[in-house]
A and B are shown apart, each in its own frame.
Chain A
Amino acid sequence: MTIIPALHMAGISKTFPGVRALDCVDFDCRTGEVHAICGENGAGKSTLMKILGGSYRPDAGEIRLNGRLVHLTHPRQAADAGISIIHQELSLLPYRTVAENIFMGRELARFGLLDRRQMNKRAAELLRRVGADIDPEGQVSTLSIAMQQLVEIAKALLLDAGILVMDEPTAALDERDAQNLLSLIRGLREEGVAIVYISHRMPEVMAVADRVTVLKDGQKIWTRARHAAPVPEIIRAMVGRDLKDFYPKRPSSGPGKVLLSVEGGANAALRDISFDVRAGEIVGVAGLEDSGKAHLAQALVGDEPLSAGVMRVNGKPVSIRSPRQATAAGIGYLPGDRKRDALALRQSVRDNALLTLRSMAGFFARPQRAALSPAAIDSELRDMDVRAADFGQEIGTLSGGNQQKAIIVRWLAQASDVLVFVEPTRGIDIAAKAAIYQTMRAFADAGRGIVVVSSDMPELIGIADRILVMHQGRIAGELPRGASEEEVMRLSLGIAQQEPREAFA
């Protein structure tokens, strides 16, 4: 090979106590190339990137940048070497301005004095470049998660790096923002940036990657040009087998009685919400990031209660002012940000699965008895195929898919009638995704209902029996099963909406 790649990682190995996270992995990325890395969680993608970012040191192997051998021991060194990383976890400062965040660690200064004017100016340029209409002097905590993600991307662009690593950059983005980002990536490629792109979303990988590398269990399976790597092949390499029936079959029978209904629901973020969920139904909720779809989920579970309107569960009007009341009414919640909103990371798998049962039990309920007993929950965890060496181990040590399954067990044990899922498979690998879809279907088939809020359009179309599309805090329309992505998108963008916009000014 005559071309010296911008990035060349050779023979990288990393062992954690008991686990070989990376086993002699080779990886390279050329200038002007987008190189996608695919792999299940635990395959070693993040470890590889953390090594590249200077957060971990490899046990063996070497990293060359443009042929030059480097040793990266702190994120600072990686940045100085021209490596910029967009991390999948937000790393912003909530109480600081957008500009201060973009320049975090690389502040413009003369003799140690900040040059705020210049920083604001450059920040505005970068934000324009990622297609975000954000005031650089605004506080980050006022931004939505999607906007924060865009700030994160702008931050990475600041470095003008030769190598840009993007780890699930579209996880929090809706379709429109994700498309913007993909075109930005293409632009950067034209400018000669070497881009490492990590994603679970196959359509994106197909849309933007020049080459694809698949990792599995810490080893590289193969690297191929995109045209030589069709999606089924990639999935087979990642999972180690074919995945047929990715989305479960829908039942032939129609939906049953109404389990949950909302009439004229409204609060600060929502207007005029009316819909119902029937037994046996999976109702999808789509919309852009700022459409209020996440707020709808929070309203249903009492996290941000409705201030107007009527909610009925099994025909009975209920007042839901808190998640506890929602739980008591039979509504369960599986939040999108598991680490922040669902998991007690230092508690055991068992304790996490038992949390709701224990929370709803009488205070003097004996924790060793009946449904509250470890034996009972263990069998449910096994039924759900939660993989852990021991259910007494901390849940923080499990993969995302297994964590999500444990939380599903939490609500199954509580025997909730309606489950509200938000981004049910965000950050979850493909095999676990299929299992979670199966569980959702089985739950609905058992005569209960599901509301699923998701930004992943193929997922919604694949799993939902009908899709509510939200726009500006209202339900802009409802689509039956089998709707196309275009139809969803049109409603999301408000194109099909009849009401005048001023009504919700």
Chain B
Amino acid sequence: MTPIPQVAPLRPSPKLALNAGLVIFVVLYAAIAVVQPNYLEPGLFMNFLRRAAPLLILACGQLYVILTGGFDLSVGAVATLAVLAASILINGDPDATWAVLGTLYLMGIAVGLVNGLVVAFLKVPSIIATLGTMLLVNGLALAWSGGAARGDLPENFRNFGRLVWRDVWLIGSLPLAVVVLCGFVAIAWWGLNGTVYGKRALAVGDNPRAAELAGTPVAATRIIAFVVSSISAVTTGILLGGFSGVSVNAGEGLELQAIAACVVGGAQLLGGRGSIWSAVFGALSLFALFTLLNLMGLPQALRDSIQGAILIVAVGATMWRNRRRI
């Protein structure tokens, strides 16, 4: 058999993909600045980052799963669970915050493990498996809280979304959320580039059978991806809870936005291609788009439409670029 194309198609190199995501973001942000020039001030840019932080973090986690060839639809529900659980467990007591944060991450890890185990060993396609856990986790969160926000989040928890250090040298102001964001992105980057995990994940997403026969722990690689995704969801939940307090719909719809962000940033669905910058710049682009549409004062509903069109165009453009090179 000679399954090899006889001619070498040139694919865009990862560096090029990085630039594409970055370029979209820069263009969109420039458009924002045209509509609303004060977005060029460092303070407002930091504020933009702060508000984009939950989506960015979620996209970084989702990227892990996408690289291995799956989806994680449960992240929105996990974020909601984190917010509700935090308010119920802390119940206004600032001393409980740190212990509860640990508990939240344990819950997230548990959900990630369930997702991973179901996909890796029960062989349920991730889109169905995580749809199931989405319903399950959402139901649990609502049943636990009784369907409405309960308990209060103390000041020190709210700081994750609200605290801003003013008069910081060079950048003017620095929200705590942006520090968390940078930390999370750095860790996510390290996971993919500073350890062997990233390459394993790409190989598993590209061809799980080949990876398995080459000795890759395929099941573990998948499970870790789901755990990372859930951890990102908990982090997102903490920031959302910090930003705006308890609500039962804190994470609603975020899962699709996170997937869309990765795709806009150049990650390939069903695995094998993408980098942490796909998630970062994809999410920044998407959030910049939302902000721009907001500022332009378009009817809110139409923003959905535009988001849909952009998704199709972004993926179509990538397809077209790849195809032209073959």
On A, residues with C-beta under 8 Å from B are 16-19, 21, 41-42, 44, 46-47, 88-89, 168, 171-172, 301, 303, 322-324, 326-328, 333, 335, 337-347, 351-352, 354-356, 358-361, 363-367, 372, 389, 392-394, 396-400, 403, 410, 414, 426-427
Contacts and interface: CB of A to CB of B under 8 A. Distances in A.
B6 A337 contact: no
B199 A354 contact: yes
Nearest to A218: B6
A164 to B, nearest CB: 19
A399 B4 contact: yes
B273 to A, nearest CB: 6
22 contacts: A17-B325, A19-B7, A19-B8, A46-B2, A301-B213, A323-B212, A324-B216, A327-B214, A335-B213, A339-B3, A343-B207, A344-B203, A347-B206, A355-B200, A355-B203, A356-B214, A359-B200, A359-B216, A361-B196, A367-B199, A372-B196, A397-B4
A42 B213 CA distance: 28
A340 B209 contact: yes
Contacts of B10: 17-18
A207 B2 CA distance: 22
Given A41-B4, A42-B6, A323-B215, A346 B206 contact: yes
A359 B201 CA distance: 10
Given A328-B215, A393-B8, A403-B4, A341 B199 contact: no
B290 interface: no
A341 B210 contact: yes
Most interface-central of A172, A340, A403 (chain B CB within 10 A): A340
Contact of B9 (A44, A328, A397): A397
Interface string B288-326: 000000000000000000000000000000000000011
A324 B217 contact: yes
Contacts of B202: 344, 347, 351
Contacts of B107: none
B30 interface: no
B193 interface: yes
B99 interface: no
B170 interface: no
Given A337-B1, A359-B217, A343 B196 contact: no
B123 to A, nearest CB: 16
Given A46-B2, A172-B1, A344-B211, 17 more contacts: A17-B9, A17-B10, A19-B7, A21-B7, A340-B209, A340-B210, A347-B203, A359-B196, A359-B200, A359-B217, A363-B196, A365-B196, A366-B194, A367-B198, A397-B9, A403-B4, A410-B214
Contacts of A361: 196
B197 A342 contact: no
Contacts of A343: 207, 210
Contacts of B1: 88-89, 168, 171-172, 337, 339, 400, 426-427
A21 B326 CA distance: 13
Contact of A396 (B5, B13, B193, B211): B5
Interface residues of B, number: 37
A88 B1 CA distance: 6
B322 to A, nearest CB: 11
Given A341-B209, A365-B195, A367-B193, A427 B3 contact: yes
B272 interface: yes
B212 A342 contact: no
B249 to A, nearest CB: 37
Given A17-B325, A21-B6, A346-B272, A356 B195 contact: no
Contacts of A333: 213-214
The 8 closest A-B pairs by CB, nearest first: A327-B215, A344-B206, A397-B8, A16-B7, A427-B1, A359-B216, A358-B196, A339-B3
Contact of B197 (A341, A363, A427): A363
Contacts of A41: 2, 4, 6
B11 interface: yes
A303 B215 contact: no
A149 to B, nearest CB: 10
A251 B214 CA distance: 30
A6 B300 CA distance: 66
Given A354-B199, A367-B195, A427-B2, A342 B7 contact: no
A396 B2 contact: no
Contacts of A410: 214
Contacts of A359: 196, 200, 203, 211, 214-217
A172 B193 CA distance: 40
Interface in B247-284: 272-273
B99 to A, nearest CB: 28
Most interface-central of A323, A344, A372 (chain B CB within 10 A): A344
A328 B214 CA distance: 11
Contacts of A351: 199, 202-203
A358 B196 CA distance: 6
Contacts of B206: 344-347
B215 A347 contact: no
A263 B8 CA distance: 47
Contacts of A427: 1-3
Contacts of B7: 16-19, 21, 397
Contacts of A399: 2, 4
Interface in B167-221: 193-200, 202-203, 206-207, 209-217
A358 B8 contact: no
A323 B194 contact: no
A426 B2 CA distance: 8
Contacts of B325: 17
A17 B200 CA distance: 32
Contacts of A355: 199-200, 203, 210-211, 214-216
Nearest to B198: A367
Most interface-central of A324, A328, A352 (chain B CB within 10 A): A324
A364 to B, nearest CB: 6
B215 A356 contact: yes
A490 B3 CA distance: 33
Contacts of A426: 1
A135 to B, nearest CB: 26
